[in-house]
Copies of this chain bind each other. A is one copy, B any other.
Amino acid sequence: MFPRNSFNPVKRAIILSVGDELVLGQTVDTNSAWISAQLATVGCAVAAHATVPDDLRAIEEAILQSRDRCDYIIVSGGIGPTEDDLTRQALAAVMNVPLEMDHAWLKQLDEFFVKRGRPMPERNKIQAMIPKGAARIWNTCGTAAGIDAYVSDACRVIVMPGVPKEMREMFTRSVLPTLVVSSSGEVILSRTLHTFGLGESAVAEKLGDLMRRDRNPSVGTTVANGIVSLRVNARFGSKDEAQKQLDETTELCRAALGELIFGQDDETLQQVVGQLLKSSDRTVATAESCTGGLLSKMLTDVSGSSDYFQTGWITYSNQAKYERLGVSMEIINTYGAVSEPVVKAMSKHARRLAKSDFALAVSGVAGPTGGTPSKPVGTVCIALAFPPLPRGEGWGEGARDYQNSQILARTFNFPGDREWVRDRSAKMALTMLRYHLLGKPLPL
């Protein structure tokens, strides 16, 4: 992927994670992926990840094996205060030097414990020891100082704590700015665009040539929790060029996918819908059966959501649909609880009772039980109630008519288990509202 030769001056890193809990499979290593993503932003190529147990020999061997294959070995883990923390000893052995006390950090450790009103345990002193000739890296949120050392003329080793919060803070503040990543100044900039509603292959088809493997900027797709995301990576000789190319490819993706793209980078569907409601000064209420509160939970994930969401009902039984919302038992008995007439009634009554601009209602078969041949597990009906007349200049009477609603209802069949079906149902409800707020027909 990133051949190392004289024609390619990009710096290479190998990421090493240390810990018994990792090789025993008791903890998933998230540090390696996080560090890789950080290195990518500055154009440093990651050649490999390696994970070894808390074993002196294993750590030594891993450092030795990596030494001639990269410019940076980025290590996390194994510098705690207990006897199974052996990374500093292994590094000293590879460097063939003793460990020395770092008195500045020892003082810092003392103060750390004084602040907490307890004496420093003797064993914590090891955390102020670093290999002779190495530099200490400050830790602003823990007792383990980092280590910065060379294990050959060309290979620099950075050792950081394994605790993700401490590692991330140390890497961002004290490590990343010191890495010389590319003598050519090559830079990778990335952006992620999020879609919901179509599968990965359907999104890929719409993107066509944009996904060609040899394209730069490259466009790749990933899926997580039903959200198909496009990752755009631009690798160019300067930051300005990378930024310009990234923006151009982003526009091409938007042209190919239109409103299917709901947001980018850290934006969530519920934030985007919330923003649309807030900016148009509208409110939404919810009436949930199979999602059982998940839709309301998503809406209220967003700080400030009380501006546009005040009321929700979870009517998990038929009786609750009748007593709480006024859905007639006749409709329920005629069409079944999972039916468009029922969700239409739920949304209409929720809008009426809450006096909200919109109301979303969801009823479905989340599974694993409860499916029938005509309504298998995954069958979900969703309705959106909205004002009988659009809001014109100012508030028209029709927009404030809560007794009458227009209603859009749709039936979906979502794949997957109970958690999937509920998650997709809530996201699809938000998506129906999003398209309505954008004034576009739902293309799904």
Contacts and interface: CB of A to CB of B under 8 A. Distances in A.
Interface of A: 1-2, 17, 20-30, 32-40, 46-55, 58, 62, 65, 82-84, 213, 220, 222, 231, 233, 286, 288, 291-297, 299-301, 303-306, 309-317, 319-320, 323-324, 353-354, 366-369, 418-419
- Which residue, A17, A24, A39, A309, has most C-beta atoms of chain B within 10 A? A24
A312 B295 CA distance: 13
A293 B311 contact: no
17 contacts: A17-B49, A22-B49, A23-B49, A25-B32, A25-B33, A25-B38, A26-B33, A29-B32, A48-B51, A65-B65, A84-B213, A297-B297, A303-B366, A303-B418, A304-B369, A312-B313, A313-B314
Given A310-B319, A419-B301, A23 B46 contact: yes
- Give the 3 A-B residue pairs with the shortest CB-CB distance, closest first: A292-B300, A25-B36, A293-B296
A424 to B, nearest CB: 14
Contact of A303 (B286, B311, B367): B367
A300 B309 contact: no
A173 B26 CA distance: 22
B292 A295 contact: no
A30 B28 contact: yes
A294 B292 contact: no
Contacts of A65: 65
Given A25-B38, A293-B295, A301-B419, 11 more contacts: A1-B55, A2-B53, A26-B37, A26-B231, A32-B51, A47-B53, A50-B50, A286-B293, A303-B368, A311-B314, A313-B313
Nearest to A69: B61
A309 B139 CA distance: 47
Contacts of A288: 293
The CB with the most chain B CB atoms within 10 A, among A65, A303, A310, A368, is that of A310
How many of these chains are in the complex? 2
A298 to B, nearest CB: 8
B49 A49 contact: yes
Contacts of A50: 48-51
Nearest to A417: B303
A34 B291 CA distance: 29
B21 A40 contact: no
Contact of A222 (B26, B36, B313): B26
Contacts of A301: 292, 418-419
Contact of A27 (B29, B33, B300, B324): B33
Contacts of A24: 36-37, 40, 46, 233
Nearest to A26: B231
A433 to B, nearest CB: 16
Contact of A28 (B28, B220, B315): B28
A1 B37 contact: no
A48 B58 contact: yes
Contacts of A58: 1, 47-48
B292 A316 contact: no
Contacts of A33: 22, 25-29
A420 to B, nearest CB: 12
A154 to B, nearest CB: 19
